[in-house]
Amino acid sequence: MSIFEQVESEVRSYCRAFPVVFDRSAGCYMYDENGKEYLDFFAGAGALNYGHNNPYIIGKMTEYLQHGGILHALDMHTKAKRTFLEDFENKILKPRGLDYKVMFPAPTGTNAIESAFKLARKVKGRQTIFAFQGAFHGMSLGALAATSHAYPRAASGTPLLGITFMPFPYGFNKSFDTIGYIENVITDDHSGSELPAAIVVETVQAEGGIIPVDVEWLRRLRELCDRHDILLIVDDIQIGCGRTGEFFSFEKAGIVPDMVTLSKSIGGIGLPMSLLLMKPELDIWGPAEHNGTFRGNQLAFVAADAALDVLENTDLLSHVKDMERVLVNHVEKNILPIDPRIEYRGRGLIYGIDFTALDPSGAAAAKISRKCFEKGLIIERCGRNDTVLKILPPLVITAEELTHGLDIIAESAKEVLKG
Helix (H, G, I), strand (E, B) or coil at 128: coil
Write the DSSP symbol of residue 162: S
Best CA proximity match to 30, nearest among 12, 53, 60, 8? 53
* Domain shared by 299 and 272, yes or no: yes
Answer left, alpha or beta for residue 76, where phi above 0 means left and psi between -120 and 50 means alpha.
beta
> Exposed (0-12), middle (13-18) or buried (19+): which is 106, by Cβ within 10 Å?
buried
pLDDT tens, position by position, 308-324: 999 999 999 999 999 99
**Does residue 399 lie in a domain region?**
no
**Does residue 19 lie in a domain region?**
no
* Domain shared by 374 and 254, yes or no: no
* Domain shared by 323 and 208, yes or no: no
Cα separation, 394 vs 277, whole angstroms: 24
Last residue of a domain, one of 281, 297, 313: 313
* Domain shared by 328 and 288, yes or no: no
E strand or H helix that includes residue 276: strand 275-278
* Domain shared by 104 and 140, yes or no: yes
Give the number of other Cβ atoms within 10 Å of residue 209's Cβ.
22
Q: Tens-digit pLDDT profile for the chain (419 aa)?
A: 899 999 999 999 999 999 999 999 999 999 999 999 999 999 999 999 999 999 999 999 999 999 999 999 999 999 999 999 999 999 999 999 999 999 999 899 999 999 999 999 999 999 999 999 999 999 999 999 999 999 999 999 999 999 999 999 999 999 999 999 999 999 999 999 999 999 999 999 999 999 999 999 999 999 999 999 999 999 999 999 999 999 999 999 999 999 999 999 999 999 999 999 999 999 999 999 999 999 989 999 999 999 999 999 999 999 999 999 999 999 999 999 999 999 999 999 999 999 999 999 999 999 999 999 999 999 999 999 999 999 999 999 999 999 999 999 999 999 999 87
* Domain shared by 127 and 170, yes or no: yes
Query: 244-258 burial by CB neighbour count: b if 16+ within 10 A, else e?
Result: bbbbbbbbbbebbbb
CATH of the domain at 294: 3.40.640.10
Cα separation, 50 vs 32, whole angstroms: 21
Give the number of other Cβ atoms within 10 Å of residue 364's Cβ.
19
Give the number of other Cβ atoms within 10 Å of residue 119's Cβ.
26
Last residue of a domain, one of 283, 313, 343: 313
Helix (H, G, I), strand (E, B) or coil at 186: helix
Cα separation, 178 vs 346, whole angstroms: 20
Contact call for residues 242 and 395 (beta carbons, < 8 A): yes
Cα separation, 25 vs 152, whole angstroms: 30
* Domain shared by 229 and 197, yes or no: yes
Cα separation, 93 vs 115, whole angstroms: 20
**Does residue 32 lie in a domain region?**
no
DSSP for 72-125, written as a single string: B-TT---HHHHHHHHHHIIIIIGGGT---EEE---SSHHHHHHHHHHHHHHHH-
Answer left, alpha or beta for residue 271, where phi above 0 means left and psi between -120 and 50 means alpha.
beta
pLDDT of residue 1: 86
Amino acid (1-letter code) at residue 302: V
pLDDT of residue 98: 98
Cα separation, 243 vs 327, whole angstroms: 14
Please provide residue 125's backbone torsions phi and psi, each rounded to the nearest 5 degrees.
70, 25
Tell whether the torsion through CA atoms of 183, 184, 186 and 192 is positive or negative: negative
**Does residue 282 lie in a domain region?**
yes
Q: C-alpha dihedral over 355, 356, 361, 365, to 10 degrees? A: 20
Q: Which domain range does residue 322 map to?
A: 315-387+404-418
Helix (H, G, I), strand (E, B) or coil at 29: strand
**Does residue 20 lie in a domain region?**
no
**CA 214 to each of CA 174, 347, 418: distance values in angstroms, whole numbers, following the listed order:** 12, 10, 35
The rounded Cα 395 to chain-centroid distance in angstroms is: 13
Last residue of a domain, one of 313, 346, 379: 313
- How many structural domains is the chain composed of? 2
**Does residue 16 lie in a domain region?**
no
CATH of the domain at 380: 3.90.1150.10
Cα separation, 167 vs 132, whole angstroms: 6
